[in-house]
Amino acid sequence: MINKTLILISIVVISTFSFANATDLSLVSSSVSKHPSVVEKANEITLQGISVDQILAEDGLKINLSTNGKLPIKHSRGLNLSRADDLDRDYMDGVVTFSKNLYDFGINDYKVDAEKSRKEALKLEYFQVFEVTLQKLLNTVNDVAKSNVVLTDLELSIAMVKVSIDKIKRRFTSGIGTLMDVRQAQLLLLDLETQMQTLQRDHNTKLVILRDEFGLAQSDLRIVNQTIDQFNKVLIKTRQGVGSMISKAITYQRSMQIIDLEKSALNSQIKSLKSENMPQLNATITGIAYDVTRGLDEYELYGGINLSMPLFDSGLSNIKQRGLTHRVKVQSDILGALNQDKSLTLNKLTKDYKNLQIEYNSALQKQVNLSEKLTQLTQRMAVVDEGLLTKLQTQLQLDKTQRDILAYPYYMQSLNIDYWSLNEQLLEKINIRPTH
């Protein structure tokens, strides 16, 4: 019992010592940045930037070069044709056209504003995806650390049960114990081994996730654990852990900003559509070099101001505006759904926290009671050579209670991670600033 406790304490001490160095966030940030979902969102931002540049370029000066040529092949002409003298003449004219939109009542500017708003929204969405992915990384590594502690404890329990089974078997062989005691002890061992196998499979699954999705080897997990440890130390020091914050209102400014930016983009689109019903003014300058194959002696340069205005479009513009107006309303509905989802998530997190506290306090009391019972059994066995199976069962109950106590800090760390992710402030609390 004493040796087992010393081993577990040593594990915790060694882990704590490894966290003592300065936190290296570059590995954590890099692992999250390379995650497929984060890379996908980064590419969306790049493409959106190209869309803005495209709209700006479409409204810029345009220069076109073309030719206008004639190569006579066959014709039928009469004497009364006024252009008969030119029918046999071949030529090639060169045409250069300069065109620029002068005024469009803000059509293009509103389009640019809409796309810029969506680009800003995508940047915030990038932070969202980055944060959610970081949450997954931290929780997965935290689960691996928890399972390491529990697996170590289970190994010690299994070793202890095997020793006890040997003692029970010897008692049965000597005629003191019963076969039923042997079989019950073996069932206890089987149950522990089953728990071990299940936990080990889950442990290995999480290691695969860390390797395949985040590119992390087992040797890298110490740095991530260090990040988690520093994060929780700061929360405890500043009284910002989930226990202190659970009763306060959550904030999610980033999500609200994304919705506001999309509304702004839609309103800009509506303004652009309205402007399309107004006159548009364009300027053109055209240069023509006549019959360039025979020289550049004959040419013409002229300009023009063109005015265009739609008179009737069968209500298409109004329909488009109605669609965009409804999409603005949809964004308000999305905000309502977001508020509800955040509230439900907070309620669940609050319930999980309260249940965890109840279970932890119960485990502490149970540990005391079982320890006292185990002491009494040990004292009794020193006088009466019986009750070995009962002692084993009590020891295993105590071991299970101690595993629950050992796992408690890791559950709290996970709740802290989830709480600040829910508040959309996990990046700030971890002190990670995505570079995109």
CATH code for the domain of 199: 1.20.1600.10
pLDDT at residue 19, as a whole number = 37
Domain count within the chain: 1
pLDDT at residue 380, as a whole number = 84
Q: How far apart are CA 387 and CA 377, in angstroms?
A: 7
| Portion of the chain with pLDDT greater than 90, in percent | 72
pLDDT at residue 378, as a whole number = 87
Residue 36 lies in a domain: yes
pLDDT at residue 1, as a whole number = 47
pLDDT at residue 299, as a whole number = 87
Q: How far apart are CA 401 and CA 179, in angstroms?
A: 28
Residue 74 lies in a domain: no
47-57 pLDDT tens trace: 999 999 999 89
Residue 177 lies in a domain: yes
Give the residue-averaged pLDDT of 410-421: 97
Give the residue-averaged pLDDT of 409-428: 96
Residue 313 lies in a domain: no
298-344 pLDDT tens trace: 889 999 999 998 888 899 999 999 999 999 999 999 999 999 999 99
Lowest mean pLDDT among 58-72, 181-195, 419-433: 58-72
Give the residue-averaged pLDDT of 387-395: 91
Residue 39 lies in a domain: yes
Name the band, by pLDDT with cuts 50, 70 and 90, for residue 113: very high
pLDDT at residue 64, as a whole number = 94
Name the band, by pLDDT with cuts 50, 70 and 90, for residue 59: confident
Residue 227 lies in a domain: yes
- Residue of higher predicted confidence among 387 and 149: 149
- Residue of higher predicted confidence among 282 and 15: 282
Residue 353 lies in a domain: yes
Does the pLDDT of residue 267 top 90, yes or no? yes
60-86 pLDDT tens trace: 899 999 988 877 777 666 555 555 556
pLDDT at residue 293, as a whole number = 78
Lowest mean pLDDT among 115-124, 151-160, 176-185, 362-371: 176-185
Question: Whole-prediction pTM value?
Answer: 0.85
pLDDT at residue 7, as a whole number = 47
Residue 160 lies in a domain: yes
Lowest mean pLDDT among 78-92, 149-163, 236-250, 336-350: 78-92
pLDDT at residue 298, as a whole number = 85
pLDDT at residue 38, as a whole number = 96
Does the pLDDT of residue 386 top 80, yes or no? no
| Highest mean pLDDT (candidates 76-90, 169-183, 378-392) | 169-183
pLDDT at residue 11, as a whole number = 46
Of 28, 426, 424, the C-alpha closest to 225 is: 28
Give the residue-averaged pLDDT of 166-175: 89
Q: What residues make up the domain containing 157?
A: 2-60+106-278+319-430
Average pLDDT across the chain, whole number:
89
Name the band, by pLDDT with cuts 50, 70 and 90, for residue 32: very high
Does the pLDDT of residue 88 top 90, yes or no? no
Q: How far apart are CA 302 and CA 418, in angstroms?
A: 69
Q: How far apart are CA 294 and CA 108, in angstroms?
A: 43
